[in-house]
Amino acid sequence: MSSLETKYQTVEIPIQGMDCADCTRHVQQAIASLSGVAGVEVLLAAEKAIVTLDPNLVSLPKIRQAVERAGYRVPPNLPNSSTQRFNRRLGSLFGVVFIVVFLIVLVGEGLGLFDRLNDLIPAPLGVSMVVLAGLPVFRNVLNAALQRQITSHSLMTLGAIAALIVQEWIAAAIVVLFMYVGSFIESFTAQQARQAIKALVNLAPRTARIERGAEEIEVPISEVQTNDIVLVKPGERIPVDGIVLSGQAAIDQSTITGEPIPLEAFEGCSVHAATLVKSGSLRILTQRVGKDTTFGRIIQLVAESEANRGEVQRFADRFSRYYLPILIGIAALTFGFSRNLLAATAVLVVACSCSIALATPIAMLATIGVSAKRGILIKGGKYIETLARANVLLVDKTGTLTLGKPHLTDIVPVDGTPPERLLAYAAAVERYSEHPLAEAVLEAARLKGIAIPEVQKFESFPGLGVRARVNGHQIEIGNRRFIPASQNLALATELEQEGKTILFLAIDGKPCGILAASDKLRPEVAEALQELRHLGIDHIELLTGDNDRAARALASQLNIPFRANLLPEEKIEIVKSFQARQKRVIMIGDGVNDAPALAQADIGIAMAAAGSDVAIEAAHIALLKENWRLVPELLRLSHRTMKVVRMNLAFTALYNIIGIALAAAGILPPSLAAAAQSLPDLGILANSARLLRADGSSLGPTP
C-alpha cells in the first residue's frame, strides 16, 4: 500500500440540526470544501458525518467550524434516552399546539383580525419584532446564501421580506412563526425515523462485571479487553461476544435474531453481546467488544444504511435541488402577470421542499429499523427498492435449503485402510475448513473418541476440497473434480443415489476412502418458495457445488430446476447470465462459500448470518436467524415500503401543486400559506409510521 493511501484516516463526527436531504447536502458540501478531506458521507438518520481526511491538512476544529458556518452543530455528545423520552412528550404536546395555532391563524385570517391588528400597531415596531424573532433563521439563510446554497427557509425569508415591503408585518410574523414550526416538524419527523436505531443502541450494556485476579469488579464496557473473563447473572444483558467457560443459562437472543424462544447456553457455546440472560449465570471468555461484536456491527450497518440510496431516493434528492429555483420562477411569473406581491409571497412560502426529500428516506429508515429488530439486516434503501422488483431467485443447498447440520453416515475404505485412520486423516484436514461438511467429519471423530493429528501446509480450494500434510503424508479430501482418480468408484454412485453428499479421501494421490454425509431439508422451505412465486418470483433454481444425484434428490422435493458440481466462479457466471437478460436476481446462500455470488447478485441474502462477519459483510441483506419464512416476509415488506414511498411522493406533489395554484390565484394568503407548508411533513410521518407497526402477520396483501 502506498504512503498516499495510508496517510488518510476515517472519523465519525456527530451532527445536530439536520432535518432533510437538503441539510445533509449542505453539511457534505461544507466539509468536502476543506483542503485535506478526501471523502465525506453525511447520514441523516445516524446524525453523523463519516469523513476520510488527511490529519496533517485538516483538523476536527476546522471541520466543526465548517459545519457551524453551514448552520448546523457538532455536539459534545449524543442525546441520552431521557432526552429521547422528553422529545417524544414534546412531540405529542406540539401536535396539540400546532392544531390550536393553525386554527387561530385560519379564524384570524377569515375574520380580518390580522388586518385590524396590522393597522393598530405601528409599522416600525412590527418590523422590528419580525426581524428580532426571525434573526436566527435569517442568519442561517444568509450563511447558506454566502455558500451559494438555497434552502426552504430561503424562500420563506423572501416571502417575509416581500410581506414587509407591502407593509403586511402580521403576515411576515406568521411566516416567521411557521418557519420555526416547519423546522420543528422536520426535526421531529427525522427524529422519529431515528428511534428504531436508537432503540437498538440503548440495548447495548454500558458496563461489564469482570474477573480481575480474585476480585469481581464492574467496569465501563470501553475498558473490557479480549480474553477478559466476564460474569453475567440472571436478568442481565451479555456485554461482549465470547465463549462460555462455565455455567448454564437460558438466553433471549431476540436482539440479534428476532427469535423470542430462549437458547440454552452451556460450556463451549458462543454467545453475543446485548442478548439477555433470563435464567442461570455464565462465565464468558471475551472475544469481541463494542463495535466489533455482532450487535455492534448490526448497529453500525443499520446506521450507515442510509448511504445506500435507491434510485427513487436519488431522484427525490436531485429534484429538490431544482425545486426551489423553479418555485422562485413561478413566484416571479405570478407577480409579473398579476402584479400582486402578496400572491407571489404566498407562492414562495406554501410549497414545502423538504417534504419531497423526506418522502423516501423516512419510509426506508422505518423499514430498516423495524427489520433489524426482527433479525433482518438491510444495508440500504436501494436494496429494498431492488428487492421489490426482483423476479429470479437462485439458492445454495448446504446450510441454505438444508439445515446446515449434516451428519456422517458412511465411512467406506476402498484399499483396505482402516476406517478409524481415514476418519482421523479427514478430521485433521477438515479442522481448518469452513465448509458445513467439515463439522460433520469433526463431530464423527469426537463421538468415536479418535485423536486428531496436527497438520502442516493446509490449503483450501473453494468448491473443490482441502489439502494438507498429516504425519508425512499428503491428504486430500473433496469432490470428484478435486480427486479425478475417484471417478470410477461405483460405490460412490450408489451413495449419491440415496441423496447423500460424497467426500473422497486420497493419501499421497491415491483414493483410499469415501465419506458420505446427509443433511435435512428445512421444513418451512417448500411453503416459503410457494409464497415467493405468488409474490412475483418467476424463476427459482438450485445452484450447488454438491454432486448431481444429491442435488437432484433435493430439487425434486421442491419441484425446482438445479445445477450441480458448480465452482464459486461458475455461480457468478450464472448470476450474470440472468442479469444480461434484464432479470433482477436474488441469491441466497450461507454467506461464506457463496460470498462472490452474493456480491454479484442484485440482492445477496445471507441465511443464518448471526455471529459471522463474513456473511454480514458479503450480503446486501443478512437474515440473522435460520428461518426461510423471513424471505417472503422480507419481499412483502419491500413491496409495502415502496407503496408507502409512492404514496408519500404522490401526496407531496399533489399537495404542493394545489397549494401553489391557490397561492398564485390569490386565494391563499401568505399567513395561511405559511401554516399550510408544514402539513406535508406530518402526512409523510403518519403514512411512514405504518411501517413501524408492521410485523410478519400484518404486512397485508402485496400491492
pLDDT of residue 579: 94
At residue 345 the predicted structure's pLDDT band, cuts being 50, 70 and 90, is confident
Specify the higher pLDDT residue, 242 or 187: 242
**In this structure, is residue 703 part of a structural domain?**
no
Domain interval for residue 596: 375-402+521-631
> What is the predicted pLDDT for the residue at 91?
45
Give a yes or no: residue 211 inside a domain.
no
**DSSP strand E in 620-685: where?**
621-623
Q: Which of 518, 537, 571 is the last residue of a domain?
A: 518
DSSP string computed for 157-201: HHHHHHHHHTT-HHHHHHHHHHHHHHHHHHHHHHHHHHHHHHHHH
Q: Can you give the pLDDT at residue 666?
A: 87
* Catalytic entry in 19, 241, 396, 681: 396
473-478 and 465-470: which strand pairing?
antiparallel
| Same domain, residue pair 390 and 437 | no
- pLDDT tens for residues 293-333? 877 777 776 666 555 565 666 666 666 667 777 888 898 89
Average of per-residue pLDDT across 556-561 = 92
Indicate whether 97 pLDDT > 60. Answer: no
Q: What is the CATH number of the domain that holds 232?
A: 2.70.150.10
pLDDT value, residue 269: 86
Give the pLDDT band of residue 615 (cuts 50, 70, 90).
Answer: low
User: Total structural domains in the chain?
Assistant: 5
Residues 6+ away with beta carbon under 8 Å from 370: 196, 691, 692, 694
CATH code: domain of residue 48: 3.30.70.100
User: Domain check: are 359 and 379 in the same one?
Assistant: no
pTM metric for this prediction = 0.68
**CA-based R_g, the chain, Å:** 31
Please tell me the distance from the alpha carbon of residue 596 to that of residue 426, in angstroms, as a whole number.
Answer: 27
The answer to the question of residue 142 being in a domain is yes
Task: Report yes or no on 55 lying in a domain.
Answer: yes
- Please tell me the predicted confidence (pLDDT) of residue 697: 40
Residues 397 and 438 in one domain: no
CATH number for position 587: 3.40.50.1000
Q: Is 519 a catalytic residue?
A: no
Q: State which of 518, 547, 568 marks the end of a domain.
A: 518
Q: Looking at the domain assignment, is residue 209 inside a domain?
A: no
Considering only residues 487 and 619, tell me which one the structure prediction assigns the higher pLDDT: 619
Task: Assign residue 40 a region (left: φ > 0; alpha: ψ between -120 and 50; beta: otherwise).
Answer: beta
Last residue of a domain, one of 631, 654, 681: 631
pLDDT tens for 163-194 read 777 777 777 777 777 677 666 666 665 565 55
Query: Is 702 contained in some domain?
Result: no
- 619 and 551 housed in the same domain: yes
96 in the same domain as 130: yes
CA atoms within 13 A on the CB side of 417: 22
473 lies in the same domain as 589: no
Enumerate the β-bridge partners of residue 466: 460, 477
Distance CA 7, CA 57 (A): 10
Considering the domain architecture, whether residues 428 and 394 belong to the same structural domain is answered as: no
CATH code of the domain covering residue 481 = 3.40.1110.10
Is 182 in the same domain as 310?
yes
Asked if the structure places residue 701 within a domain, the reply is no
CA distance 237 to 553: 44
* 128, 259: one domain: no
489 and 503 together in one domain: yes
Residue 431 sits in the same domain as residue 340: no
Report yes or no on 619 lying in a domain. Answer: yes
Q: Looking at the structure, do residues 306 and 193 belong to the same domain, yes or no?
A: yes
Rounded Cα distance between 287 and 289, Å, is 7
pLDDT at 598 over 80: yes
